Amino acid sequence: MTTETTSKKFNIDTVEHAEQTPEQPLPWAELGLKENEYDRVVEILGRRPTAAELAMYSVMWSEHCSYKSSKVHLRQFGDKVTEEMKEHLLVGIGENAGVVDIGDGWAVTFKVESHNHPSFVEPYQGAATGVGGIVRDIISMGARPVAVMDPLRFGAIDHPDTPRLVHGIVSGIGGYGNSLGLPNIGGEVVFDSVYQGNPLVNALAVGVLRHEDIRLANASGVGNKVVLFGARTGGDGIGGASVLASESFDDAKPSKRPAVQVGDPFAEKVLIECCLELFKNSIVEGIQDLGAAGISCATSELASNGDGGMHVELTNVLLRDPSLTPGEILMSESQERMMAVVTPENVAAFEAIMDKWNVEYSWLGEVTDTGRLIIEWDGEKIVDVDPRTVAHDGPVYERPYSRPVWLDGVQADSFSAEAPTDLRAAVLELMASPNMCSKDWITNQYDRYVQGNTALAMPDDAGVVRVDEETGLGIALSTDANGRYSYLNPYDGARLALAEAYRNVATSGAKPMAVTDCLNFGSPEDPEVMWQFAESVRGLADACQELGVPVTGGNVSLYNQTGGVAIHPTPVVGVLGVFDDVARRTPSGWREDGQAIYLLGTTRNELDGSEWANLRGHLGGQPPALDLDAEKTLAAILVNSSRDGMIDAAHDLSEGGLAAALSEAALRFGVGARIGIDELCERDGIDPFTALFSESQARAIVSVPRSEEVRFNDMCTARNFPRIRIGVVDAENDALDVQGHFTLPLAELKEAHEATLPKHFG
Amino acid sequence: MTIETPLIGHSAAEVVDESLSGVRVGVVTFPGTLDDRDALRAVRIAGGTGVQLWHGDHDLKDVDAVIIPGGFSYGDYLRAGAISRFAPLMEQITAAASGGSLPVLGICNGFQVLTEAHLLPGSMVKNNHLHFLCKDQRLLVENSSTAWTSSYGEGSEIVVPLKNQDGQFVADERTLDELEGEGRVVFRYVGGNPNGSRRDIAGITNEHGNVVGLMPHPEHAVEPGFGPDSSAFGEVEVRGGVDGLGIFTSVLQKLVNK
């Protein structure tokens, strides 16, 4: 058998051929393009596209890559940023990730992204490559990745398909993240049947760099060399961004498994070290990771952000599978690949570093000033485009949107079930419920120690990581979302998600600085979903402005629906905070016997959308009221208390209200407390059940050493913030004793709290 | 070419004993090694001088002791540690250690490398529950006469993090009996076996006591604020457990007093 050399085995659709055969039909619909979009490609080129050009436009103009439905709304994140909010922003929206100045010459880059669709189709690889992709975004900015987090949402805990997804996704995140040596410092786990066919796998990564080390994705300097390095290009993930991530699932269509990428964490770990060595020695002029849309994205973005031209020979790409067509090579989303621009003088140094780390590379071409992205296949021109038209001039849609007609009915349906008479049983039921139970079974599968800088991790309110070992300068991160709140009121739901993440960061003692978001919604072609999206973006942008924290980047995931049923609108918000010294971080549980326990904030009758209502199968009414001024004051109190050593523990009140906060604070270190709620009930005009289960916002509990009580009270008075002493830490009696109502031995509470996940998945 | 990374400064953590700074402890980096900088930090906090070693070099850089740190060298592909044992530097280490002179510590993946290199007996297979497990683990120090455990009292307990996927120690019955009979079981799991390891064994030594391997990570229990929440030696602050530090001070003190 003879093997022909690669170049001539395809009928290559060259530019010349395209000009000669204007009538040749092309499979634009199968590649995910709409008719009007295809017509526009023809108009831009003045001819029909070649097969390779069609491949590039189809992936780059997909919803996932072009943000064509969301762009008109996302502009608010930029428009509503004030000069003051920009003060600490070194790089804003639009690059691979935003960069924030945290002082002393240090900067932090962070971003959250979705990998929802692939994780349903192929849970392990989908989740693993979600981590891999966001980590490469962070490296691309010139940073060393230092931690990851993973907000997850699954269907009902007892659905027969849920174990497949939980096992696959959790071990995928662990298998990849643990192998990279990145501590996993937090996240969320929510079970709700609305996510049954559309689990949400969001991944956040954070990296650290010196100001002068920031790298951007652009190809400048005519004559500079373009190099592709890392893993070889294979047939996995073709159309991942277009036919998988930009369409709804539908039972009638074939499985989209080949569109999921396959990860190799070892290759990525080596790539991280290799890139950091390149940065340290100033070897690269511009760098871009290969994620969605692969080489199509990297070449067109690098070229259009730089001097405007690039010349590439595609047969130089190293392949895992020599039978790939040029179009497939351009669309492949094979993982662990990077593209860089290197001056001719640095070529040898670049190659030496690649050789040291045993990383494969191939020189693809060079930067030009022609304003054209030219891609050749064995010398024959197969792509000749203005890169801007591929990367930036995609379609923009003003999708119609309308407030759902059903919403009035839902909002009028307030939770009115009678309060349970047995509060002890109610607390046990809450703390054992799928959303409030201990997540240790999941988080113990993640390495939280590696790198030796983790100062707090789950189950504390925020993950805290030291950046500078000499000074203790560090960061805190928290992600939050509440799909039920957003379903009831998407504008407020997004604001509430931000408020909770902001509060969590402040509870740990850090000053909130910046925001990243992952907006998970159903199909934008449904006007009601589009309305939920528009309202959420408006709410988040408004709240960011009010709290003075800018959005630095993020990701939109649409088409999270199966058939006609969409997920709850789920805007996941990540907030970054800064510590001058992580040594003063506040843990979420108390330890010292005799310390006073205070509740900060006001409790109202707010059970609509709550975990308790959820346990009773009810979803209606309005989410808890939001007062961002109160959130700001509460945050200032928590940060100052940490700075001045006035508190030893703090825990925010959110899902599950006071009952959950007290239980978690006691279980954190296994130390009990005596609590009295009668005075609180009298002050706020509520009954004991409401006091324990309401989800009123802008609240937290703190434990205060006796010696600090006067000072702490004076500070709250000065800021005119409501607080009430609700109890005392009791290290002698291993129980949560809510006096006059019930006593719960910690062993019994712990058993109920920890048994749920092992029971379903262990 | 250097392999240092730009983002790790000098720790503010108090150094235990300044007189130990002349001792040079090498830490080997393979492709896929993860806890190398953590091991270097532990050496520094214990008072010694950490030296970075590259797997592909043939030079031990005159170090007095070697640590093979945790991670997933070569992705743990084929078998954990199976490829790393063939690294050029491993030849130097094996030659210097097998006679009983060079103290060598293998932590987690490093322990796996030492068994693959036949410096220690037995092997590690997947945890019996098949999951990666990260937890604070209580250990009994059964042998305090090795190069790496002399700072501990015989029979003392310590709490250090455990984090691995392939941590189940296995060996044939004769080897296990031999290890027990010769007092070469150095660390044993206390309070429940986390992974199905034979006879609750967490760490062992060779016949000379200079080579020690263990699955848990003492280098993650050396600095207050970044260790486990508990200690076997009494109450500690949040993440204040530093029970692992004795491993590093042991070897430094032994080498200074040599």
Residue A223 half-sphere exposure, CB side, CA atoms within 13 Å? 4
Cβ contacts of A472 on chain B, cutoff 8 Å:
12
Provide the β-strand partners of residue A599.
A701, A724
Query: Of B142, B219, B220, B223, which is the active-site residue?
Result: B219
CB A176 within 8 A of CB A131: yes
What's residue B6's pLDDT? 32
Cβ contacts of A107 on chain B, cutoff 8 Å:
none
Among chain B residues, the shortest Cα distance to A208 is held by B7
What's residue A162's pLDDT? 97
Among chain A residues, the shortest Cα distance to B41 is held by A452
Task: Tell me the average pLDDT across A713-740.
Answer: 97
Provide the β-strand partners of residue A154.
A191
CA A421/CA B114 separation, integer angstroms: 61
Task: Tell me the average pLDDT across A359-382.
Answer: 94
Phi, psi of A666 (to 5 degrees): -75, -40
Among chain A residues, the shortest Cα distance to B135 is held by A444
Task: Tell me the average pLDDT across A9-29.
Answer: 88
Provide the β-strand partners of residue A101.
A107
Q: Which residues contact A85 (CB under 8 A, 6 or more apart)?
A: A544, A545, A548, A549, A550
Tokens of A425: 């049983």
Measured in angstroms, the CA of B241 and the nearest CA of chain A are apart by: 12
- Say if A194 falls within a structural domain: no
- Say if A351 falls within a structural domain: yes
Task: Tell me the average pLDDT across A408-413.
Answer: 97
- Which superfamily is assigned to B17-257 in CATH? Class I glutamine amidotransferase (GATase) domain (3.40.50.880)
Among chain A residues, the shortest Cα distance to B238 is held by A587
Confidence category of residue A65, pLDDT binned at 50, 70, 90: confident
Measured in angstroms, the CA of A440 and the nearest CA of chain B are apart by: 10
- Say if A19 falls within a structural domain: yes
- Say if A157 falls within a structural domain: no
To the nearest 10 degrees (0 to 180), the angle between helices B36-46 and B245-256 is 60
Query: Of A64, A117, A311, A741, which is the active-site residue?
Result: A64
What's residue B75's pLDDT? 86
* A636 burial level (CB within 10 Å; 0-12, 13-18, 19+): middle
Confidence category of residue A1, pLDDT binned at 50, 70, 90: very low
What's residue A496's pLDDT? 98
Q: Which of A242-251, A424-433, B40-49, B219-228 has the lowest mean pLDDT?
A: A242-251
> In this structure, is the dihedral angle defined by the CA atoms of residues A643, A97, A466 and A284, taken in order, positive or negative?
negative
Last residue of a domain, one of A380, A396, A412: A396
CB-defined contacts A:B, below 8 A: 121
Place of tokens 């790496």: B148
Measured in angstroms, the CA of B38 and the nearest CA of chain A are apart by: 6
Mean pLDDT of chain A: 93
Measured in angstroms, the CA of A731 and the nearest CA of chain B are apart by: 13
B11 close contact with A: CB closer than 8 A: yes
Query: pLDDT exceeding 90 applies to what percent of chain A?
Result: 83
CA A28/CA A38 separation, integer angstroms: 7
What's residue A4's pLDDT? 41
CA A536/CA A521 separation, integer angstroms: 10
Nearest to B5 among A144, A213, A469 (CB): A144
Q: Under an 8 A CB cutoff, do B8 and A469 touch?
A: yes
Q: Which of A447, A458, A470, A593 to mutate to test the interface with B (most CBs of B within 10 A)?
A: A447
Nearest to A181 among B34, B225, B239 (CB): B34
Cβ contacts of A448 on chain B, cutoff 8 Å:
134
Region for residue B28 given its phi and psi (left: phi exceeds 0; alpha: psi -120 to 50; beta: otherwise): beta
A96 CA to centre of own chain:
13
Confidence category of residue A262, pLDDT binned at 50, 70, 90: confident
Nearest to A195 by CA among A238, A230, A252, A152: A152
Nearest to B75 among A210, A266, A280 (CB): A266
- How many other CB atoms are found less than 10 A from the CB of residue B28? 28
Q: Under an 8 A CB cutoff, do B132 and A447 touch?
A: yes
Q: Under an 8 A CB cutoff, do B1 and A175 touch?
A: no
Nearest to A179 among B6, B75, B217 (CB): B75
Region for residue A105 given its phi and psi (left: phi exceeds 0; alpha: psi -120 to 50; beta: otherwise): left
Tokens of B204: 């062992």
B14 close contact with A: CB closer than 8 A: no
Last residue of a domain, one of A396, A421, A452: A396
Q: How far from A734 is each of A428, A656, B181, B235, CA to CA, in Å?
A: 16, 22, 43, 17
Q: Under an 8 A CB cutoff, do A181 and B134 touch?
A: no
Q: Under an 8 A CB cutoff, do B6 and A144 touch?
A: yes
B234 close contact with A: CB closer than 8 A: no
ipTM of this complex: 0.93
Confidence category of residue B13, pLDDT binned at 50, 70, 90: low
Residue A115 known to be catalytic:
yes
Q: Under an 8 A CB cutoff, do A455 and B163 touch?
A: no
Q: Under an 8 A CB cutoff, do A269 and B11 touch?
A: no
What's residue A762's pLDDT? 85
- Domain interval for residue A701: 587-762
Nearest to A587 among B10, B217, B238 (CB): B238
Kindly tell me if the per-residue pLDDT of A336 is higher than 80: yes
Nearest to B7 among A144, A181, A273 (CB): A144
Cβ contacts of B41 on chain A, cutoff 8 Å:
452, 469
Q: Which of A56-65, A718-727, B104-113 has the lowest mean pLDDT?
A: A56-65
pLDDT in tens, A459-494: 999 999 999 999 999 999 999 999 999 999 999 999
Residue A167 known to be catalytic:
no
Q: Under an 8 A CB cutoff, do A357 and B31 touch?
A: yes
Assess whether the previous peptide bond of A722 is cis (omega < 30° from 0).
no
Number of folded domains in chain A? 2
CA A751/CA A574 separation, integer angstroms: 31
B38 close contact with A: CB closer than 8 A: yes
Place of tokens 């629906």: A561
- Say if A181 falls within a structural domain: no
For chain B, the three-class secondary structure string (H helix, E strand, C coil) is: CCCCCCCCCCCCCCCCCHHHCCCEEEEEECCCECCHHHHHHHHHHHCCEEEEEECCCCCCCCCCEEEECCECHHHHCCCCCCCHHHCHHHHHHHHHHHCCCCCEEEECHHHHHHHHCCCCCCEEECCCCCCCEEEEEEEEECCCCCCCCCCCCCCCEEEEEEEECCCEEECCHHHHHHHHHCCCEEEEEECCCCCCCHHHEEEEECCCCCEEEECCCHHHCCCCCCCCCCCCCCCCCCCCCCCCHHHHHHHHHHHHCC
3 state DSSP class of A382: strand
Instruction: State the CATH number of the domain containing residue A758.
Output: 3.90.650.10
CA B214/CA B35 separation, integer angstroms: 14
B34 close contact with A: CB closer than 8 A: yes
Task: Tell me the average pLDDT across A198-219.
Answer: 91
Phi, psi of B167 (to 5 degrees): -115, 5
Q: Under an 8 A CB cutoff, do B37 and A444 touch?
A: no
Q: Which residue has the higher pLDDT, A216 or B238?
A: B238
Tokens of A457: 């991790």
Cβ contacts of B135 on chain A, cutoff 8 Å:
444
Query: Of A73, A115, A618, A741, which is the active-site residue?
Result: A115
Q: Which of A228-242, A700-714, B7-21, B171-185 has the lowest mean pLDDT?
A: B7-21
Nearest to A452 among B31, B220, B229 (CB): B220
**Pair type for strands A200-210 and A144-154:** antiparallel
- Say if A410 falls within a structural domain: no
Measured in angstroms, the CA of A457 and the nearest CA of chain B are apart by: 10
What's residue A591's pLDDT? 95
Nearest to B220 among A443, A449, A472 (CB): A449
- Say if A607 falls within a structural domain: yes
Q: Which of A139, A449, A453 to mutate to test the interface with B (most CBs of B within 10 A)?
A: A449
What's residue A255's pLDDT? 57
Residue B89 half-sphere exposure, CB side, CA atoms within 13 Å? 23
- How many other CB atoms are found less than 10 A from the CB of residue A705? 16
Q: Which of B2, B7, B74 to mutate to test the interface with A (most CBs of A within 10 A)?
A: B7
